[in-house]
A and B are shown apart, each in its own frame.
Chain A
Amino acid sequence: MTAGTVLASSFIVPLFMLVAALGQRTRERLSDLLPFAPLPALLAALVVPDGTIVVLPRSLLGITLSLDKPGAMLLGAASLLWIAGGIYARQMLQDAARAVRFAIWWLTTLSGSLGVFIAADMIGFYFFYTLVSLAAYGLVAYDETAATRRASTIYVALALLGEAFLLMAFVLLAAATPGNSLLISDAVAALRSSPWRDITMLLIVLGFGLKIGLVPLHVWMPLTYSAAPIPAAAVLSGAAVKAGVIGLIRFLPFDVSLAGWSEVLMVLGFVSAFYGVAIGLAQTNPKAVLAYSSVSQMGLLAAVLGMGLGSGSRAALLPVAFYAVHHMLAKGGLFLALGAAAARRGSALLVLVPTVVLALALAGLPFTGGQLAKMAIKDPLGDGVASVLAQISAIGSALLMLHFLYLFRAGIAEAPADRPSAAAVVAWLMMVFAALALPWFLFPTLDGASRADAFTLQELWGAAWPILIGGLLAALLWRWRTRLPRIPEGDVLFIAERCAPTVSRLGAAFERADGVLRQWPIASMCVALLVVLTALALAMPA
């Protein structure tokens, strides 16, 4: 088996499982396959050598796949999360009436989510991106309540909007690429001299910004994660969101310094980083708090990428991927903890302690992967304003995570007696272990990084003090906790929803116009008018 076959099987195997589901017998057992679907991708991340490139045959759209270091890191971590999520989902779906449907959406989202990390051409990337974006609709809509209907509708509307931005961006990239090449690397190299450079950049930032939840395009995140069942929320918040991160890594032109765009990304990023914390503190649903934490964390990543774009070097990419890997594992683990806690109510402390560690890891707790993640992005951030802002955002993260832990603990006490599930605990433990251990293995692959650095007093203190200040702030806030404002999930979404009547009126106007045009006298007049207009248009020289 060649490296190329292994790489291609990362998305072909899950898609093949979907095809197999056309058969009655496979269909009935489809949910049993979920934990196994990401295995080829895990294998690919482990064994396929760096720099492998495969061109698939035309019947598979001629997609080009390649594996580089950031891609391999994200692919491996994402497949781990999908395995853990699959173990949980398989248990959840036993005897569930909508099991097959959920499994189909799951496998579709999964193949897209893993595929984006290895796609090297624009059509392939767009294909996988579409799979992961649109198929997630079915995962969000699983519990058929009013809340999930609203969340999934808003989600799919914004996902389609993101698709539209990216389609146009890719077309502009293709138009500026010399020859017929559709490779992402060729397109990005040509972007510098593209006559449509700024509009392309705008569309790329908007499209991927929607996916990673840059403010104000984040409104779908809290709604979606709150509405989705726990395993779905875990893989969506952990793995699916990273489609946006890899998108920015792949499509931003890091080889040249683009004045202006670097600042745009940094401003958007830091605004999101702080906005996410502020609104997250006003949430009462732990899932929504985790969602706002994602807004904040992804904002920080966007800011780092902005710095990288300004420096005109690719040095920031691997650190960003590393940070994203840690976020993926930790966030997935935290969502799964919500399920594990419900399953292990008798011994809540067993769940609580690792969760505290995992939650604070997101703020950079010493000795965790979080500390390494913060260390990794230190270089790209430089030592100017950006570095200070990043440290303040770490304080914010600590504060937000303490808020989450408070809600989490309160939630354990009053959680409804769910079905005790060993699978939930296994899946959760797997992610806790991965989030704590995996970064230590990956860290030395970064340029000029060694594990020993993490144990210097300076680094340990640097990681610890934002958490201590966060704890202090939390203690202060505790006194006013009853007076904190309560902001609905999706915050500024209400503005958009207020426009709904206007949109509806616009639709009604179209309907009236159609009614008028479809009357005989009007239509006949249109015929005459068009004959005259066409004749005039033909006669007049351009």
Chain B
Amino acid sequence: MTHEMTLLVAPLVPLIGAALVGLTGRSPNLRETVSVVTGLVLLALVAPLAPAVMNGARPEATVLEVLPGLPIAFALEPLGMVFALVASGLWIVTTLYAIGYMRAHDEPSQTRFYVCFALAISASVGIAFAANLFTLFIFYEALTLSTYPLVTHSRTAEAMRSGRVYLGVLLTTSISFLLLAVIWTWFLTGTLDFTPGGILAGKAGPMTIGILLALFAFGTGKAALMPFHKWLPAAMVAPTPVSALLHAVAVVKAGVFTVMKVIVYIFGLDLLTETGANEWLIYVSSGTIVLASLIAMTKDNLKARLAYSTISQLSYIVLGAALATQAAMIGGSMHIAMHAFGKITLFFCAGAIYVATHKKNISDMEGLGRAMPLTFAAFFIGSLSVIGLPPLGGMWSKWFLVLGAADAGRMIPIVVLMVSSLLNVAYLLPIPLRAFFRAPKGLAAGETLKYAEAPAFCLVPLCVTALGCVVLFFYADTIYRLLEGMG
């Protein structure tokens, strides 16, 4: 299959998968097999593209022209490659995890769950491959809508309220700001294609550039830039596999991916530094990093703490884009992959703890480490990666971000990154440490915990992703060389 063909087929694979899952709903085993096979086929299609992209190939393919000059088209470049790899790779792991989680919980409407999951992945791949803003916007909205049934999976009153916040924030920002920015860009330049070096240079004054950047940055609600971050904690009402893949990887990364892509391929780094339009974005993203970390410390619910940690980490990537230097751009883009592995591990662990013990609050988890050593070991590794310590992948992205900030000659982001690392230590590390070293609460002498590790379907995926964090430390060079071709 040519690379061009692959671009067209890859987003279709999960769509077909979704249809098959729907058809095989009566037989859960067959249905789950279909999900896993779809994931494998997708990865088998996407992975071979990576070497080609690294060698400078930029395959393009057009699906159809919706309006004159505005086609649904796909084109691959390094950033999209990284995002597509991360999303499709982690989907397989998450599917396995979901099988364990959903069955252990005896959740209702599992067919709908897997169908929507596949639709969401299809939308994510579409975003990764989008050749222009128009295509990206279409898949961006498709991702919002396909994840809504997942967020509100339980159909309770709480789920309905959270669903309102979710849809409310994401649609409000995308319709009022992002769509406006897209149409405005089209009006100014007559094109929406992602072009190395950007398309806006010389087409608009510094004032307009500044407004457009704000519309794009805040319009991409999925990037969870404060004050448009509330949807992410709200989304935590979803089953944990959804929080893990979608709200630590696919959906939020689609957001920061969009910001990065727009800054690199629509504005162009030079235009931003020339006009100084990026100045405020540096401060907003820095502020989000610190504030979200501080809020995370106050949360006792584990998933809520992880959600605020995600908000903070997402702004690393936005900051990387806003700094508009080569190193920061690469650091930010790399963080898409690094944070994905770290955070998905943490969510998997949170879900495994919930499945095994039905505990949601951190204060109840003391002493659990002895009953669930593998889970908490994985949590420890994931935490270290999110903090950014060697020998874990998270260290490299932070490294390049700091380097990029230094290149830009800015002190504040460097301080923010350092402070944030300390805050990460403060809100993440106590969780595994207390689980291992504190005695369980309310346990009489001589009594032992009655809990055991979660089922293998839950346990194996979280070990795999924890291992992934370690592997990424040693293979960061490959990602770096891939991302060097950006812009």
A binds B: no
Q: Which positions in A face B, CB cutoff 8 Å?
A: none
Q: Which positions in B face A, CB cutoff 8 Å?
A: none
